[in-house]
């Protein structure tokens, strides 16, 4: 349900799950009494250059789920980030010394504004917003994550794509020195992903720079990653260094590697099984190995917001 339409870290260094939820409920209640959402102070997005630094001037989003977020430990220690290894705990173990400053993002392609921007300049025009999203991985597990980020729709609008731009492509840093997984052949590096312009300008997707109110940990995609809550997790490209507006559909890494198993769209669809397992049910990370699985929701529960994007598309063929 949506509220509205449309290990190595000491506990003292982060907001506890219970305190975080209490704080969020208090802020949300205040927003209701005041008749409006709490808004940033008017300052543009400023993201500290240290991991887990507290983020300021973060607005509360009406797009958040009311489900209880997973613990910080769940979110930070169980990851898919193949650049740091194939195991779920490899990113947490091997990304600790990953350098995310200086960082640049190249914007190119069919847009009026293009160029290479340092991270701070890229972020400066936008406001930070908290989005608590239910995220589902193709391996049939899910988490609820309190992301902090900037609206992808606003980013697209800022760079003024031309009428030729039908897609937005993203690319991850490709660094053999810092990323041990890149030295292997699990994928054709660098990691690539893409969305249609219509998907990218939907209100739901964000470019995330934080979780639990703090700057994002390296293993979760620092300093900036894509979050698209109605799609499977591999669409959420991490550590982005390139954004390109394209007239033709961009390649995406898993579709290039195993096209019969991973499509371009990757919408959460319980009626379309992965060739090697069913997608109809899922297990919430942190619920315990004996917990019952729950039914997978179409578009991960965001059908009301995104189903119209695919009204003329055969979702069995375009998986």
- Write down the pLDDT at residue 21: 46
Position 284 pLDDT exceeds 60: yes
What is the average pLDDT score of the chain? 89
Q: pLDDT, tens digit, for every residue of 114-169? A: 999 999 999 999 999 999 999 999 989 999 999 999 999 999 999 999 999 999 99
DSSP 94-105: H-TT---SS-EE
The confidence band for 291, taking pLDDT boundaries of 50, 70 and 90, is confident
Share of the chain above pLDDT 70, in %: 87
Q: With b meaning 16 or more CB within 10 Å and e meaning fewer, what string describes 189-210?
A: bbbbbbbbbebbbbbbbbbbbb
- Write down the pLDDT at residue 128: 97
Which pair of tokens denotes residue 101?
């400053």
Residue 234 half-sphere exposure toward CB, CA atoms < 13 A: 23
What is the mean predicted confidence (pLDDT) over 68-88?
Answer: 97
What is the mean predicted confidence (pLDDT) over 278-298?
Answer: 91
Position 288 pLDDT exceeds 90: no
Which pair of tokens denotes residue 85?
């290894």
Position 41 pLDDT exceeds 90: no
Which SS3 state, helix, strand or coil, does residue 275 take? coil
Position 78 pLDDT exceeds 50: yes
Task: Work out the angle at residue 13's Cα, subtended by the Cα atoms of residues 7 and 14, and round it to the nearest 5 degrees.
Answer: 85
φ, ψ at 151 (rounded to 5°): -65, 125
- Write down the pLDDT at residue 197: 98
- Write down the pLDDT at residue 40: 40
Which pair of tokens denotes residue 294?
């729950």
Closest C-alpha to 62, from 6, 17, 20 = 6
Position 10 pLDDT exceeds 50: no
The confidence band for 263, taking pLDDT boundaries of 50, 70 and 90, is very high
Strands 240-246 and 104-109: parallel
CA distances (Å), 292 to each of 65, 121, 174, 193, in order? 21, 46, 39, 33
Q: Which residue's entry shows tokens 């917990």? A: 291
Residue 298 half-sphere exposure toward CB, CA atoms < 13 A: 10
What is the mean predicted confidence (pLDDT) over 210-234?
Answer: 98
Contact assessment for residue 128 and residue 55, using Cβ atoms and an 8 Å cutoff: yes
- Write down the pLDDT at residue 46: 84
Classify domain 11-310 at the CATH class level: alpha beta
C-alpha distance across the termini of the chain, in Å: 24
Position 25 pLDDT exceeds 90: no
CA dihedral 283, 199, 221, 175 (to 10 degrees): 130
Closest C-alpha to 316, from 277, 283, 267 = 267
Position 267 pLDDT exceeds 90: yes
Of 174 and 31, more confident: 174
Position 315 pLDDT exceeds 50: yes
- Write down the pLDDT at residue 121: 97
17-21, 71-75, 86-90, 214-218: least confident range: 17-21
φ, ψ at 181 (rounded to 5°): -65, -25
What is the mean predicted confidence (pLDDT) over 289-303?
Answer: 93
Taking the C-alpha atoms of residue 281 and residue 295, their distance in angstroms, rounded to an integer, is: 4
Position 246 pLDDT exceeds 70: yes
Long-range Cβ pairs for the range 96-99 (8 Å, 24+): 96/8, 96/218, 97/178, 98/178, 98/179, 98/218, 98/222, 99/178
- Write down the pLDDT at residue 1: 34
- Contacts for 222 with CB less than 8 Å, ≥ 6 apart: 51, 98, 100, 215, 216, 239
- Write down the pLDDT at residue 247: 98
175-179, 227-231, 285-289: least confident range: 285-289
- Write down the pLDDT at residue 43: 56
Closest C-alpha to 263, from 275, 249, 252, 276 = 252
């Amino acid at each position: 349900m949506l509220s509205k339409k449309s290990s190595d870290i000491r506990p003292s260094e982060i907001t506890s799950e219970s305190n975080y939820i209490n704080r969020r409920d208090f802020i949300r209640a205040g927003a209701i009494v005041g008749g409006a959402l709490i808004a940033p102070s008017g300052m543009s997005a400023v993201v500290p250059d240290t991991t887990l630094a507290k983020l300021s001037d973060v607005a509360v989003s009406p797009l958040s789920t009311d489900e209880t977020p997973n613990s910080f430990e769940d979110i930070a220690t169980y990851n898919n980030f193949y650049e740091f290894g194939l195991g779920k705990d490899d990113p947490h173990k091997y990304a600790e010394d990953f350098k995310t400053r200086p960082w640049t993002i190249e914007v190119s392609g069919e847009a009026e504004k293009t160029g290479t921007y340092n991270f701070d300049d890229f972020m400066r025009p936008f406001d930070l917003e908290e989005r608590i999203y239910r995220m589902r991985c193709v391996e049939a597990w899910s988490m609820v994550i309190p992301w902090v980020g900037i609206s992808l729709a606003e980013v697209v609008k800022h760079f003024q794509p031309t009428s030729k731009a039908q897609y937005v492509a993203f690319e991850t840093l490709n660094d053999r020195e810092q990323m041990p997984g890149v030295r292997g052949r699990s994928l054709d590096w660098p990691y690539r992903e893409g969305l249609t312009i219509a998907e990218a300008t939907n209100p739901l997707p964000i470019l995330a720079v934080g979780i639990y109110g703090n700057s994002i940990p390296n293993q979760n995609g620092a300093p900036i990653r894509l979050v698209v809550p109605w799609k499977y997790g591999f669409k959420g490209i991490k550590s982005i260094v390139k954004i390109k507006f394209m007239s033709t559909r961009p390649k995406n890494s898993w579709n290039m590697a195993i096209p019969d198993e991973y499509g371009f769209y990757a919408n959460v669809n319980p009626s379309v099984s992965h060739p090697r397992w069913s997608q109809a049910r899922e297990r919430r990370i942190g619920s315990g190995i004996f917990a019952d699985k729950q039914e997978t929701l179409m578009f991960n529960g965001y059908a009301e917001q995104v189903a119209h994007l695919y009204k003329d598309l055969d979702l069995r063929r375009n998986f």
